[in-house]
Amino acid sequence: MRCGAVLESNDFHPARSGRNHLRALALAARIPYARVEELLDLVELTGAAGRRVKGYSLGMRQRLGLAGALLGDPELLILDEPANGLDPAGVHWLRGFIRSFADRGGTVVISSHVLAEVALTVDHVLIIDHGRLFATARLDELTSRGETLEGMYLDLTARQAP
């Protein structure tokens, strides 16, 4: 599989366990169930895997969605607001996971409104506002004059707004 995505953290059947949710996805994609167990461990949900998803916190649902996106061992991950609902330890874990995924040759595209968090995680930035691309550059290039990513976003989008 080339691409995995997490666009919503609520596309689960509430009565299904986390493990069974992933097994259903694995079955549909002809992926061995052993991969489900590997990913439950990776996203630190092994202990909760037998519980119904309706009892999961938002952060747990985020991790379950990430496990689903990883089932096919994708080269590209697309994550929409991946830190939403995560506690500080979960955010720290997510940053490490994203860095590790990229270090192994994968690409992660993150869509987020929390630019301070994004700035702690990414190497390259695309600034898009209302469907228009305003900038594409390495983060260190955009912020080389001491500007924050948020400040750069506000400057670029205000200056070039229609």
Is 136 within the bounds of a domain? no
The predicted structure's pLDDT at residue 64 = 94
Is 134 within the bounds of a domain? no
The predicted structure's pLDDT at residue 30 = 96
Give the confidence band of 79 by pLDDT, cuts at 50, 70, 90: very high
Are the C-beta atoms of residues 117 and 149 closer than 8 Å to each other?
no
Name which of 112, 129, 130 is nearest 121 in CA terms.
112
Alpha-carbon span 141 to 138, nearest angstrom? 5
Is 68 within the bounds of a domain? yes
Is 157 within the bounds of a domain? no
Give the confidence band of 142 by pLDDT, cuts at 50, 70, 90: confident
pLDDT at 12 over 90: no
pLDDT 10s digits, 90-117: 899 999 999 999 999 999 999 998 898 8
Least confident piece of the model among 9-13, 16-20, 54-58, 78-82: 9-13
Is 160 within the bounds of a domain? no
Q: Based on the structure, what is the number of domains in the chain? A: 1
Is 137 within the bounds of a domain? no
Is 143 within the bounds of a domain? no
pLDDT at 159 over 70: no
Q: Tell me what the mean pLDDT of segment 8-20 comes to.
A: 87
pTM: 0.86
Residue % of the chain over a pLDDT of 70: 96
Is 108 within the bounds of a domain? yes
pLDDT at 1 over 70: no
Domain of 54, CATH number, reads 3.40.50.300
Q: Tell me which residue range forms the domain holding 82.
A: 3-122
pLDDT 10s digits, 26-36: 999 999 999 99
The predicted structure's pLDDT at residue 160 = 57
